[in-house]
Amino acid sequence: MQELPSIEKFSLNNFTFSPINSSHKALIVSLYTNSKAMTFVEPVQSEQNAIKIHQSFVKKNTNRQSGFYTWAIQNEQLLPTNKSENIDINKYIGFVVLYTKIGAKPLTHPEIGIMLKPENSHCGYGTKIFTALITYVFKLLCCDAINIRFQPSHVAMQRMSKKLGFIFDEQQQSKEINFVHDEMRIETLFQQNWPS
């Protein structure tokens, strides 16, 4: 997997993806300290730990060799029409992640993930956001496949992955489980099956 290019802001499908920076601290803290948002992710974090996670995201976003990028998501339909207005942090509905390695270990395929505020879940945003992100990642990295990783009990993620064309790849699951010992299900979307 090649080094990632510099992270940039982009817009697709009525969503704006802004690289996580210091101004997104409230968003990350609000998600990582929220039990509903963390249901299928990991244990709820203290505010202090959530701040450290935010700082880690900012640091990784500025290091092209980190293999880990995060973008805050805005629904453009919720943004002010007057461009001179300040964009309130509450306009962010969650964030997405792209990573090409875990620690120092390169992944076979880049992985993407999403975390939405609970009030923005189950609104159809996840599928639209992933559609935009997948399109962007295939162009950005010129890769032949993308993985997602999720808890097998996460029914909504199972439905969304199926709708987007991800498939369970037992061989990929076996490769990844050798160095990441978790109970997550790994599914793969091949570029040849994705409409350009």
Provide the whole-model pTM. Answer: 0.87
User: Any residues with CB less than 8 A from the CB of 98 and at least 6 apart, and which?
Assistant: 4, 68, 69, 70, 110, 111, 112, 133, 137
CATH topology of domain 10-143: Aminopeptidase (3.40.630)
pLDDT in tens, 17-72: 999 999 999 999 999 999 998 888 888 999 999 999 999 999 999 988 888 999 99
Q: Do the beta carbons of residue 57 and residue 74 sit within 8 Å?
A: no
pLDDT in tens, 94-129: 999 999 988 788 888 999 999 999 888 888 899 999
Other beta carbons within 10 angstroms of residue 122's beta carbon come to 10
Residue 88, beta-bridge partner list: none
Q: For the chain, what are the domain ranges?
A: 10-143
